[in-house]
Amino acid sequence: MIRTFGQHILRKTRTLDGLWDFVTDPSNLGTTEEWYKKFPADSRKLVVPSCWNNELGLFEYIGAAWYRTYFDTTQDSNIRLIFEGILHHADIYVDGLHLGYHFGGYTQFSTLLPHLAQGQHELIIRVDSTLDWQTLPTDVADWYSYGGIIRSVELQELPDVYIDTMKIDYHLTGDQADISLQVQVNSLSNTDSEVEVNASTNGLVFPAVTVQLLAGQSTQLTLRGTLANIRRWDVGQPELYTFKVQAGEDDLIDRTGFRTVSVDNGQILLNGKKLYLQGVNRHEEHPEWGFAFPPKLMLKDLSILQDLGCNIVRGSHYPQSQFWMDLLDEHGMLLWSEIPMWGCFMSVETLASPLFAERGVKMLDEMITRDYHHPSIIFWGAHNEIDTRTTEALELTKKFVGKIRSMDESRLVTYATMHPVEDIVLSYFDVIGINKYYGWYEGNVNGFRDMLQNYYRNAEAQGAGDKPLIMSEFGAAGIFGDAGWEPRLFSEDYQADVVQQALQIFREDPRIVGTLIWHFADIRVDVRSDRPYFRDRARSFNNKGLLNEYRKPKLAYRIVKEIYRSKR
């Protein structure tokens, strides 16, 4: 299940989710031998989508693995295969032919098979979960290094002339929306064709356009229209508009919500009104499903966020599934979306690597292209905790922020810094996020006060003193069930104290416009016996969740709920 709603009525689509053949390839023979020889007759089965590390015997497996399934076509047809998320390297083979390679575990990619003959076809995917110093994330990150096909695989049958993409843009004046729809139509036909393109949304039919397409060519057209008396999308007010485009025998349906996002005098404005953000960071992770997070649990996580009194969630630290964003759109909850650039152990060599930068820019491109229409997304996050005191970070920031702004001017660009006092990239962003852990990694909670004063001085000096500031991460570990009379380190009481005191400091500071607690729920962490990282993570979990990994509330949850639901 990719979306909460259907994107096609005319186009035939089906999912290839289910039991696939699966075999690991620890010695990486696949590139030198014929891959199909490695599927034993009684090959192991794995459910797609899932993470293989959640299965017996594969907990610690990082490396290459092969997946196989079959699909039938009832007539010669144009097939598009859509891969929603594969961690991290994916090579696609259909009927023995290598059709493409994709890097990046959390964004969608697709493969086109024009004029595929009728019959049964074999789809094989080589998945490699190996990370290194030039991948996003790198091989050191504070979450579990899961591998596998983590999101659905969809098969679409395309007519010879089909809609490739639709991009919805609008400009609001009061309650009027001037809308432009950019539609790309492609032809796979051997002859020239003519199709009529129609589009509509609630209360508006766009004037139809007839397009002539040369054989095998594509064309882009823009449909324009004006909608009066629109209802704006807002926090807790999920007004959505469904757009339908039809070109000949093909169609595409998508949704958006009308709202404006801006900054003014240190404040974030949504639809022109000041916004105070209250939220948490959330990994799309669960000990049983890993990153193949099931829809039912998403709905429950959302109910928990609402119960807590949140109006925003940060999709730490990678593009989340489309189903989750659809739910956020449908419930009026805001989202900070970012790419998996997690940096506190990252070297400057990584920041300076051209391959790393190229991968980051491509991920930004894929994230923004896929998620452009979600009204819930208020921020694009460029990076998290890289060494923003260095010129390497500055150069990368220019590239990333430039890329984001070239694709989307309707949202704010942000990031999370762990060096607020010496950071040299502040001026490139619309909103600054600070990650700091006084009361946990450094000193006691009062350390926040001095840090903030020093940050304000640095920001003034860089001409960034008027940028809205969010405390994007803070918190402490508390082991679920460890409660007592004294607030000992790692107890629920200690965690609750730190979060409560920190929130009090932040809520009294008029320059802070939001708080995102680290973290929503405990997450599994990559603690390996042969590596020095994260040795302080008891149970091999990051225990700073307000809930444990099974979504049971800790004391801190109840305290935060009281604070988030009270008036500032």
Nearer to ligand ADA, 139 or 330 (CB): 139
Return the residue nearest ligand ADA (CB atom).
142
For residue 281, the minimal CB distance to ligand ADA (Å) is 7
For residue 441, the minimal CB distance to ligand ADA (Å) is 7
Nearer to ligand ADA, 84 or 549 (CB): 549
For residue 481, the minimal CB distance to ligand ADA (Å) is 20
The partner residues of 384 in beta bridges, in order of sequence, read: 342, 416
Distance CA 340, CA 209 (A): 41
For residue 145, the minimal CB distance to ligand ADA (Å) is 14
Burial 367-394 (b: 16+ CB within 10 A, else e): bbebbbbbbbbbbbbbbbbbbbbbebbe
Closest CA to 560 of 331, 279, 313, 311: 279
Nearer to ligand ADA, 89 or 419 (CB): 419
Closest CA to 568 of 481, 518, 505, 493: 505
For residue 524, the minimal CB distance to ligand ADA (Å) is 12
For residue 217, the minimal CB distance to ligand ADA (Å) is 46
Distance CA 122, CA 323 (A): 28
Nearer to ligand ADA, 250 or 473 (CB): 473
For residue 418, the minimal CB distance to ligand ADA (Å) is 7
Q: Residues with Cβ < 8 Å from 478, sequence gap 6 or more?
A: 490, 491, 492, 493, 494, 495, 496, 543, 544, 554, 555, 556
Sign of the C-alpha dihedral computed for residues 460, 462, 466 and 470 taken in this order = negative
Distance CA 236, CA 302 (A): 13
Closest CA to 522 of 554, 565, 493: 554
Nearer to ligand ADA, 2 or 418 (CB): 418
Distance CA 104, CA 344 (A): 20
Nearer to ligand ADA, 142 or 387 (CB): 142
Nearer to ligand ADA, 337 or 435 (CB): 435
For residue 76, the minimal CB distance to ligand ADA (Å) is 49
Name the site residues for ligand ADA (rule: CB under 6 A).
142, 317, 344, 384-385, 435, 473, 518, 542, 544
Other C-beta atoms within 10 Å of 351: how many?
Answer: 24
